[in-house]
Amino acid sequence: MKLIELTKANAEKLLADRRRRELAAEGVAARILADVRRRGDAAVLRWTRRLDGLRLEPATLWVAKGECEAARREASRKFLHAVEHAVRNIRRVAERQMPRPWNLEVEPGVHVGQRVEPLEVIGCYVPGGRFSLVSTLLMTTLPAQVAGVRQIVVTCPRPNPAFLAAADLLGVHQIARVGGAQAIGAMAYGTESFPQVDKIFGPGNRYVTAAKRLVSAECAIDLAAGPTEVLIVAARGKPRLIAADLIAQAEHDADAVALFVTTSPRLARAVREEVARQLRAFPASNPAWRSLKRNGAILLAPDLEVAARFANRFAPEHLALPGGEPALLAKIRSAGSVFLGPWSAQPIGDYASGANHVLPTAGWARSRGGLSASDFVKCSSVQRISRKGLRRLAPVVATLAEAENLAAHAWAVEVRR
């Protein structure tokens, strides 16, 4: 990992590099999306064969329910118990996140309430490049089930037996063996076999993330959840644990970003040495080798105030504060998910704490947090005005409508008096 000073120029370069990687993927994604919109399933099958090396036919595009059932029967008890444990925690958190209906009498005769309705049809994108991410299946489908979504469509290019067993345990059986921008296009536009969904959820590589941004003009998306990012900020801590967290997130993707910011030159050197030592335990094929070389850095900050300002500008997906300092946490306002203290290993959040691991990347944490059960519902206002309430508000409406030169607005109230 590079060891550099956290200067204004270096901070700007890190941010510019991230923006450049994001924009570079849009051209490729746009071409694939246009083809899927025009040719439907034929384009989906063609791009899946070209990019993923999967030769699918219309008959094998969708996973049969029997495959999921068979995978569950063959799964080990240990695996199923682990899934069930994670499911309990994720469901508990999702239930707590759910918006509730309410009703309020704003003033006599004026009632305003909130109605909460689930989305009808959603698409869940589950990455499956090297391995099918069972955890992402849980993180996207469980909150949807808690919210009451009626139809859940899942896409994953290589759903392995563990993935299929977990899907059967969840009762999720509409699974397509496709990934990439073509899967996003199929769900956003609809094809001969794909239903057009109301909203797309889930993380992916930079091409998937670019495709989600491009389709968002006509199909809602949850958030930009692209290649993993981790930012660790500490003036003190255990180098061994910090290095392990950097490597863990870096192995997600060759485009992952892993940064450690510290005010201690001694700690910086120790972490750098630990990363090099621990990496040797993993094969050269592990993406962590490439991502740490390309996008990994240890930044020496003059003080924690500068470190906190950089964290807020970078707005990382994962923010770790292994020292657990409340004063430092109070300075940082933008992060997808925060991990406090030395024992809060990020993989615990990835799998089983119950917090959702679908998190904003590329600076989106400046405007929102991670995926929540509330993302799967629509909250609509409901208004009921009595004659008494109308008479109380009519003069207010008339005055404001007159100020906006909207005479018909005033008349629609006046005609009821």
Task: Give me the DSSP letters along 243-255.
Answer: HHHHHHHHTT-TT
Q: H helices within 171-235, ranges in order? A: 180-189, 206-215
Same fold for the pair 2-23+227-366 and 40-99+118-223:
yes
Structure tokens at 296: 């990994």
Q: H helices within 202-303, ranges in order? A: 206-215, 239-250, 265-279, 287-295
Q: Give me the amino acid identity at 169.
A: L
Phi, psi of 55 (to 5 degrees): -95, 90
Distance CA(306)–CA(302), nearest Å, equals: 7
Residue 159: the pLDDT is 94
Distance CA(392)–CA(403), nearest Å, equals: 19
53: left (phi over 0), alpha (psi -120 to 50) or beta: left
Residue 253: the pLDDT is 87
The 8-class DSSP code of residue 216 comes to T
Q: Is residue 22 annotated as a catalytic residue, yes or no?
A: no
Residue 324: the pLDDT is 83
Domain boundaries, the chain: 2-23+227-366, 40-99+118-223, 386-414
Question: What is the residue-averaged pLDDT of the chain?
Answer: 95
DSSP-derived 3-state class of residue 152: strand
**Selected catalytic residue, list 318, 325, 402, 414:** 318
Residue 23: the pLDDT is 78
Q: Which residues of the chain have pLDDT under 70?
A: 129
Scanning the structure block, which residue is given the tokens 């991502």? 291
Beta strands in 73-109 (DSSP E): 102-107
Structure tokens at 63: 């996973």
Q: pLDDT tens-digit profile of 347-403?
A: 999 999 999 999 999 999 999 999 999 999 999 999 999 999 999 999 999 999 999
CATH number of 2-23+227-366: 3.40.50.1980
DSSP-derived 3-state class of residue 88: helix
Would strands 337-340 and 102-107 be described as parallel, antiparallel, or unpaired?
A: unpaired
- pTM here is 0.92
Q: How far is CA 322 from CA 86, 88, 234, 264, 343, in A?
A: 24, 27, 6, 14, 8
CATH number of 40-99+118-223: 3.40.50.1980
Residue 20: the pLDDT is 80
Q: How far is CA 274 from CA 239, 247, 292, in A?
A: 7, 10, 13
Distance CA(322)–CA(406), nearest Å, equals: 58
Q: Is residue 317 annotated as a catalytic residue, yes or no?
A: yes
Q: What is the dihedral of CA 298, 304, 310, 312, to 10 degrees?
A: 130
**Selected catalytic residue, list 274, 317, 357, 409:** 317
